[in-house]
């Protein structure tokens, strides 16, 4: 688990939100995983590290592979939330996750 994922998990626990599953495989044909997920709510969270450092996820082939993965998640009925390091540090991520959990529970 990356430092950013650990930081977000601490925030989730601090807010007493439901514990997410980690590194969930959601595809039978690809080795795709999502960082955090609540399968009962079909809610997925991805931590997007390296957004300002030209990391794998922001370069051509890595970006394309992420798009393929995110599109498949959507086609499978998942709601995907994506967060940058700044969004986690500034508290925006945890507020959004809390609201998304609330909304998804109301829909069920």
**Cα gap 27→99, rounded to integer Å:** 26
DSSP state of 106: H
Q: How confident is the model at residue 82 (pLDDT cuts 50, 70, 90)?
A: very high
The pLDDT assigned to 26 comes to 86
- Give every CB contact of residue 56 below 8 A, 6+ residues apart in sequence: 50, 62
pLDDT tens string 3-54: 999 999 999 999 999 999 999 998 888 999 999 999 999 999 999 976 545 5
**Cα gap 88→95, rounded to integer Å:** 10
Q: What DSSP assignment string belongs to 51-86?
A: TTTT-GGGSHHHHHHHHHHHHHHHHTT-EEEEE-HH
pLDDT tens string 54-66: 555 455 677 899 9
Fold of the 3-107 domain: Endonuclease; Chain A (3.40.960)
Dihedral through CA 84, CA 85, CA 90, CA 93, nearest 10? 50
What's the whole-model pTM score?
0.86
């Amino acid at each position: 688990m990356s430092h950013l994922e650990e930081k977000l998990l601490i925030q989730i626990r601090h807010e007493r939100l439901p514990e997410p599953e980690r590194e969930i495989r959601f595809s039978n044909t690809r080795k795709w995983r999502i960082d955090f997920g609540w399968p009962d709510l079909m809610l997925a969270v991805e931590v997007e590290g390296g957004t300002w450092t030209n990391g794998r996820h922001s370069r051509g082939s890595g970006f394309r592979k992420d798009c393929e993965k995110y599109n498949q998640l959507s086609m499978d009925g998942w709601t995907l939330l994506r967060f940058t390091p700044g969004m986690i540090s500034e508290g925006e991520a945890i507020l959004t996750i809390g609201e998304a959990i609330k909304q998804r529970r109301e829909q069920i």
